[in-house]
Amino acid sequence: MNNSQIKLIVGLGNVGSDYEGTRHNLGFYCLDRLAGAFRATWQDKPRFKALVTEQRMHDQKVILAKPTTFYNLSGEAVNALATFYKIPTADILVIHDELDLPFGKIRTRIAGSDAGNNGIKNITSHLGSAFARIRIGIDNDQTVYRDAADFVLDYFLPQEQQVLPRIAEHVLQFTDEFVSEDKDFLHTSVQVL
């Protein structure tokens, strides 16, 4: 198998039980749903600073990774995996929460700015910006009077928690399109209610 057939899919979040269910762990949540579809188990890979599982999708090797570096240093893990497996930036997909989008809005894109997201900013500092992204909106009416750092580390509201499985379903569909190199992946937007 040549290395161009390997795709890297990264979910952003923070490790540890204190962060489970928080808005900033939405990338982890979606990646756990994807791993669950494969009945996969995560393996701690300290050399990559990530929890990793390898699967096959569309006859391609796909590496799923959850950085253990904490959110704002995610680029260290992504860079370590991309370097070791010689994965081009174009074959990397990052799934993350997005404060600049309303809750339930999901957008896909290739490249673009970090929109103030420190995890994306750190990945860009290591690899450039030409990787694919699934951006999942978390903004709600609380952000007007709450500090952004506190907001992203807080838990979803009960009514938001009920929507998360449907959000994950869309994310898994977009992930499938990315791996299969389906052009529908590019610049897609959907609002999940």
Query: pLDDT (tens digit, 9 = 90+) per residue, 155-164?
Result: 999 999 999 9
Q: pLDDT band at 112, cuts 50/70/90?
A: confident
pLDDT of residue 83: 97
pLDDT of residue 3: 44
Does pLDDT of 110 surpass 50?
yes
- When comparing pLDDT for 83 and 143, which is higher? 83
Does pLDDT of 1 surpass 70?
no
The three state secondary structure string of 21-36 is: CEHHHHHHHHHHHHHH
Closest CA to 172 of 13, 19, 64: 64
pLDDT, mean over the chain: 94
Architecture of domain 3-191: 3-Layer(aba) Sandwich (3.40)
Closest CA to 116 of 141, 89, 143: 143
Degrees to nearest 5, angle at CA 128 with 124 and 134: 60
Q: pLDDT band at 4, cuts 50/70/90?
A: low
Q: By the 8 A CB rule, do 9 and 82 touch?
A: no
Q: By the 8 A CB rule, do 45 and 52 touch?
A: yes
Does pLDDT of 193 surpass 80?
yes
Q: How many residues are given for the chain?
A: 193
Q: What is the pLDDT of residues 66-108, one digit of tens each?
A: 999 999 999 999 999 999 999 999 999 999 999 999 999 999 9
Question: Around Cβ 136, how many Cβ atoms within 10 Å?
Answer: 26
3-class DSSP assignment, residue 42 = coil
Domain boundaries, the chain: 3-191
- HSE-CB at 185 with a 13 A cutoff on CA atoms is 22
| Residue 24 designated active-site | yes
Closest CA to 132 of 81, 173, 187, 60: 187
pLDDT of residue 170: 96
Q: In the chain, at which residue ranges do the beta strands (DSSP E only) sit?
A: 7-11, 43-45, 50-57, 60-67, 92-102, 105-110, 132-139, 189-191
Q: Which two tokens stand for residue 46?
A: 């300290």
Among 24, 58, 126, 170, the one annotated catalytic: 24
pLDDT of residue 2: 43
